[in-house]
Amino acid sequence: MTPDHPKINYGKTGILIVNLGTPDSTSWLDIRKYLKEFLSDRRVIEVNPLIWQVILNLFILTFRPSKTAKAYKEIWMEDKNMSPLRYFTERQAEKLSNKISNEDLIVDFAMRYGNPSIKSKIHGLQKKGCENLIILPLYPQYAAATTATVCDEVYRTLMKMRWQPNLKIIPHYESEPLYIEAIKNSILKKISEISWKPDLIIASYHGIPKKYFDKGDPYHCYCHKTTRLISEQYSDIEIKTTFQSRFGPQEWLQPYTDKAFEALPKEGKKNILVICPGFSSDCVETLEEISIQGKESFIKSGGKNFEMVPCLNDSEDHISLLKYGIPEFLVSKTQYYEVVFFLL
C-alpha cells in the first residue's frame, strides 16, 4: 500500500443479530410509521399490493395505530424510553460481544422494521473493517414472514454495495440442544418460583396464515418439533402447542392461543404455565397479549392460576446458546471447526 493510499479497515468479521423491530416511541405517528413499514412487507402480507395498499393506508393505518399504541404503553420501559424488545436485543448483542471477547469479531444488532435498520448496521460494520458478515435472525423457527424477509433486506443492501462482504446466514435453530435446554431451564426456574403445580404448559408461537403453510412454509413443523423436543427433556407436565397474534379474517394456524385460554378451565385445566419459545425477547406479543390479555381471559373463563415464563432475553443460557450453539448452523461440517476456533 502506498503512503498516500487512504486507510482501509479490513480483516474483521461482523455478527449481526436481527429481531423483528419496534416503534421509536408510543406516539401515534411513530406507531403508524412502524406499522406502515411492517405491513407493507409482501412477505408478511401476501395480498395483491395494489389492493392491499388501499386497505392499509385508508383503513388500517387510520385506526390501528391507536390500539397498538395502547398495547405498547402497557409494557413500555419508561426509565429507558424503549420497548423491552429493543432493550433485550441491545443487551444480547452487548453480552455476546463480551462473552466472545475477540477484537477481530464485532457484534451488533439491527431491526427488520424500524431502527436501527439492517442497512445502516451492515454499512457500519463494513466501515469497521468487517469483510465477513454473519447474520443471525433471532427467530428459532424459520418462516418466510420472519427469517426470509430479514434475508431479503440483507440481500437488497448488498446488491447496492460496491465491495460486498462474505456472507453467512443462520436460517433456524429450533432443535439446537442448547436452545432446548435453555427453554427447559426457564420452565424449571419459573416452577421453582410458584407455589402451585401447573395442569398444563402452553407453548404459544406467533401464528401465520394457514395458506402460507399450505404453500410450503415449514414454520408449523418447526414449532411442533421444538415443543416435542422440550417435552422429551421435560416430561413432568404435558406441553401443548398453540398459535397467537392472528390478524385479519382469514384462517391461521390452529389451535389459537386465545381460544385455548377460554376453553381450558372448562376442561379442568385451571392452572397453566405459558412459554413462548418462538420469541427470543419479551415484547408486546408476550408481555401484553399473553401476560395481560391472555391472563385476564383465562381467569375470566374460570381459570385459577396463570403464569408466563419469561423469554430467554439476555439470560446466561441464551448468550451461551448464541456463542456455542449457533456456529454449527453456519457452515458445512468440514468448515465447522474452523468457525468454532475463530469464535473462541
For 173, which DSSP code? -
Domain 177-308 belongs to what topology?
A: Rossmann fold (3.40.50)
Is residue 238 classed as helix, strand or coil in its secondary structure?
Answer: coil
Question: Which parts of the chain are beta strand (E)?
Answer: 12-22, 105-114, 130-137, 166-169, 200-206, 239-244, 271-275, 305-308
User: What is the distance between the alpha carbons of residues 138 and 59, in angstroms, rounded to a whole number?
Assistant: 31
Specify whether the CB–CB gap between 125 and 161 falls below 8 A.
Answer: no
Specify whether the CB–CB gap between 176 and 329 falls below 8 A.
Answer: yes
CB-based contacts of 205: which residues, under 8 Å, 6+ apart?
141, 223, 241, 242, 243, 244, 276, 277, 278
Amino acid at 185: N
User: Which of 278, 275, 272, 97 is CA-nearest to residue 174?
Assistant: 278
Question: Rg of the chain over CA atoms, in angstroms?
Answer: 21
pLDDT > 90? residue 38: yes
**CA-based torsion, 109, 115, 119, 120: positive or negative:** negative
User: What is the distance between the alpha carbons of residues 225 and 232, in angstroms, rounded to a whole number?
Assistant: 11
pLDDT at site 272? 98
CATH architecture entry for 12-172+318-343: 3-Layer(aba) Sandwich (3.40)
Q: Kindly report the backbone phi and psi dihedral angles of residue 43, in degrees, each rounded to the nearest multiple of 5, phi listed first.
A: -75, -30
**pLDDT tens for each residue of 141-200:** 999 999 999 999 999 999 999 999 999 999 999 999 999 999 999 999 999 999 999 999
**pLDDT tens for each residue of 286-319:** 999 999 999 999 999 999 999 999 999 999 999 9
**pLDDT tens for each residue of 102-146:** 889 999 999 999 999 999 999 999 999 999 999 999 999 999 999
User: What is the distance between the alpha carbons of residues 106 and 9, in angstroms, rounded to a whole number?
Assistant: 13
Specify whether the CB–CB gap between 230 and 239 falls below 8 A.
Answer: yes
User: What is the distance between the alpha carbons of residues 52 and 39, in angstroms, rounded to a whole number?
Assistant: 9
User: What is the distance between the alpha carbons of residues 235 and 250, in angstroms, rounded to a whole number?
Assistant: 35
Q: Three cell numbers at 41?
A: 412487507
Where in the chain do CATH 3.40.50.1400 domains reside? Answer: 12-172+318-343, 177-308
**pLDDT tens for each residue of 53-95:** 999 999 999 999 999 999 999 999 999 999 999 999 999 999 9
My answer on whether omega of the bond before 165 falls inside 30° of 0, hence cis, is no
pLDDT > 90? residue 329: no
